[in-house]
Amino acid sequence: MSQQNVNTTASESKESSLFNGQADIRLAGYSFTSPDVSAALVRAKARGVDVRVVLDEKANQNRKSQAAINVLTARDIPVRLNGRYAALHDKFIVADGRTVETGSVNYTRAGTRYNSENALVIEGMPELADRYLQHWQSRWDAGTDYRLPY
């Protein structure tokens, strides 16, 4: 498989979990700058999906991260930043309490378009999804609400 195909697969995988969520989507991420991922989350919210995001606090202080996070919060998608760890290095999505997507891909343009990354989608395993949701909830509970700067 060529490097381009690996990148496309990771990007398409990220989009599929975002588009397929019908009831709820929970995202945990390290670096978050991707306009495409932000837009997909906004589209999910517009469909009535309960979307929530928890991110590493230190990795998301730059202008591109702030812009991507502002897109979410301006559309009433709750975002929390967690600075409790040296790095909140999680990169996963749980959709509808049944589908887990995890891997090396950061939610950045480079991570979803250019880097050699991996993403694994596991469907129909609610017990596994519940373990990820428990982890997500613990990171969410320890985070602080992101507020728009204006």
Positions marked catalytic = 89, 91, 96
Residues in contact with 57: Cβ distance below 8 Å, sequence separation at least 6, in sequence order:
81, 82, 83, 88, 143, 144
Residue of 1, 8, 55, 2 whose CA lies nearest to 33: 55
- 101 CB-contact burial (10 Å; exposed 0-12 / middle 13-18 / buried 19+): buried
If we measure between CA atoms, which residue out of 16, 49, 28 comes closest to residue 129?
28
d(CA 7, CA 55): 22
Strand partners, 51: 25
CA distance linking residue 139 with residue 2, whole number of Å = 36
